[in-house]
Amino acid sequence: MKTESLVPTSVVGSLMNESQALLQLQEADIAILRVKKRLDSLPIKAALIKERTKRNEIEVKASQIEVLRAQGEEQAEKFQDEDAELADKIAQCQKSIDDTKDFRVITSVTRDMEGHIKRREKIEFDMGLLADRLGKIEDLAAQAAKKTKQCNDRDAELIAEYRKAGIAGQAEIDAALGRREEAAALISREHLDSYDRIRKVKGGIGATKLEGNCCSVCRIEYHDSQLSQLQTGPDISTCPICHRLIVVRGA
Ligand SMILES: [Zn+2]
């Protein structure tokens, strides 16, 4: 009695025959490809890129706002300096007026003083406008800071999600690599080489199995002669249609 016929299809390790090992190898490789594809197409990845682009735009705006604020503050300082200077000048004029009785001097100094007072009034008005502008700039800066924080929080969330998915995916890949290694050890060098060569040019699928009168991958029904040739041949052969390794029996 052949022991092979008593072996269930779920056998593992050294109890596996080459046909079963080849199909396990194929299953493991498909599993690896699927996980990699899944990780590559994760919506998180696209969302992360979108979020980063948004954050960069906000950062550019924030730095423009900072430039405006610095310019405004510099202008305010200039106004304050000029205003203080004018206050001194007005005090000096007042002193000159108080110290003299010469009408012409008084008239001339008064004219200067009025000029300084007018300039101070103009500065006060401009300072008011500038204060409004600086207030608006302040609001914009606060908005930008809030948006930057939101982006950073979302970014951290997405990265955590991506890592989690990546870790889960890596565990699946590691498990599949384990099954692959176990299977590969039971497959002949010749079949392994053919399998690797074929799967590279056939969309990742190098092995198939006979199901009824067709191959489980290309699914084109064989002619009687093709079928009988397979059935009388070795356990592992080549599909005459798609040219993949085909497990005829033993799986
Ligand atoms: Zn085929």
Please name each of the domains of the chain with its CATH number: 3-30+188-247 (1.10.287.1490), 42-179 (1.10.287.1490)
β-pair partners for 208: 246
Q: Point out the least confidently predicted range of 67-81, 106-120, 156-170.
A: 156-170
Taking CB atoms within 8 Å and a gap of at least 24, the contacts of 213-221 are 215/239, 215/241, 215/242, 215/244, 215/246, 217/242, 217/244, 218/242, 218/244
**What's the CA-to-centroid distance between 242 and ligand 1, angstroms?**
4
**What's the CA-to-centroid distance between 218 and ligand 1, angstroms?**
4
> What does the mean pLDDT of the chain come to?
91
**What's the CA-to-centroid distance between 238 and ligand 1, angstroms?**
8
Contact (CB, 8 A) for 130 and 79: yes
In tens, the pLDDT along 195-241 reads 999 999 999 999 999 999 999 999 999 999 999 999 999 999 999 99
**What's the CA-to-centroid distance between 177 and ligand 1, angstroms?**
25
Sheet holding 245-247, edge to edge: 214-215, 207-211, 245-247, 236-238
Question: Residue 35 class from Cβ within 10 Å (0-12 exposed, 13-18 middle, 19+ buried)?
Answer: buried
Contact (CB, 8 A) for 168 and 39: no
Task: Tell which phi-psi region holds residue 219, choosing left (phi > 0), alpha (psi between -120 and 50) or beta.
Answer: left
Confidence band (pLDDT; 50, 70, 90) for 14?
Answer: low
**What's the CA-to-centroid distance between 223 and ligand 1, angstroms?**
13
**What's the CA-to-centroid distance between 241 and ligand 1, angstroms?**
5
Q: What local confidence, expressed as pLDDT, does residue 15 receive?
A: 79
**What's the CA-to-centroid distance between 222 and ligand 1, angstroms?**
9
**What's the CA-to-centroid distance between 240 and ligand 1, angstroms?**
7
How far apart (Å, rounded) are the C-alpha atoms in residues 228 and 223? 9
Q: Where are the alpha helices (DSSP H) in 100-206?
A: 103-184, 189-201
Q: What local confidence, expressed as pLDDT, does residue 214 receive?
A: 95
Q: What is the pTM of this model?
A: 0.59
User: 246 φ, ψ to 5°?
Assistant: -120, 130
**What's the CA-to-centroid distance between 186 and ligand 1, angstroms?**
23
Contact (CB, 8 A) for 13 and 184: no
**What's the CA-to-centroid distance between 92 and ligand 1, angstroms?**
106
